Amino acid sequence: MRVPAAHEMVLAHVEERLTSGEWRPGDRLPPERELAATLGASRQAVREALRVLQAQGVIRSQVGTGADSGTVVVPAPARALGRVLALHLAVDSFPVDDVTEARVMFERFSAGLAARRRSASDLLEWTAALEVMDDDLDPAAFSDADIAFHVAIAAAAGNRLVGELTRAIRESVRGMLLDAMQTQGDWPALRERLRAEHREIHAALADGDPTLAADRIEAHIRAFHGRV
């Protein structure tokens, strides 16, 4: 039986307190010396575990004696989730088809709710994203505008967790989809086709038609992922 490394035991201790709710965002973790003594681990093992958690975006560590010093629990941002997903995709942990299905599941849900709950500010944000895409953008700039459009729809749905996961998945596949854009023989034609699909999604959202919005966003995702 494999014996866990010392820093893995420290990780398990911290994760247990986070998942149980004992430590919450904004809480300060005990000092390294105290954690090491409590767990019977070396301070080096504690530091290694904290570095892992900081890389995951779960904690923030700052040296010093001021109010912001020490190690504090922070909400895991979408950027950290995206980095983790991107690494797993890079080592082929998740087949592309699985990623596609996950995107479809989350974005259908978001589009349906967004069509029902849309506000005037949501419509303005979606329209602004479309207007950016109307410029003669290169694939990289278009990809950024595309992410902004999809993330804005997810945010309008009002489910924060689904919104964070949507952002993480979309950002994690940015490189893969960008490669597909750049290797297309006729980028202007592909750009116009993507613009048209986004306009159709926007129209369904603006009309407050949840079924049509969900169907159109699914067709858009599947069509583009099919080109990868």
The ranges assigned to domains in the chain are 6-73, 78-225
Percentage of the chain modeled with pLDDT above 90: 56
Q: Given pLDDT bands bounded at 50, 70 and 90, which one contains residue 66?
A: low
Sign of CA dihedral 210, 216, 222, 228: negative
CATH number of 6-73: 1.10.10.10
Q: Is 78-225 assigned to CATH 2.40.40.20? A: no
> Pick from 176, 126, 189, 195: which is nearest to 155 by CA?
126
Chain segment 3-14, per-residue pLDDT in tens: 568 889 999 999
| Count of CA atoms in the C-beta half-sphere (13 A) of 99 | 25
Which pair of tokens denotes residue 220? 């858009």
> Pick from 24, 13, 17, 26: which is nearest to 60 by CA?
26
Chain segment 167-225, per-residue pLDDT in tens: 888 888 888 888 888 887 889 999 999 999 999 999 999 999 999 999 999 999 999 98
Q: Given pLDDT bands bounded at 50, 70 and 90, which one contains residue 83?
A: confident
Q: Check whether 1 has a pLDDT greater than 60.
A: no
* Beta strands 59-62; 70-73: pairing state: antiparallel
Sign of CA dihedral 104, 168, 111, 189: negative
Which pair of tokens denotes residue 195? 């613009």
pTM over 0.85: no
Do residues 205 and 157 touch, judged by C-beta distance below 8 A? Answer: no
Chain segment 84-141, per-residue pLDDT in tens: 777 777 777 778 888 899 999 999 999 999 999 999 999 999 999 999 999 999 999 9
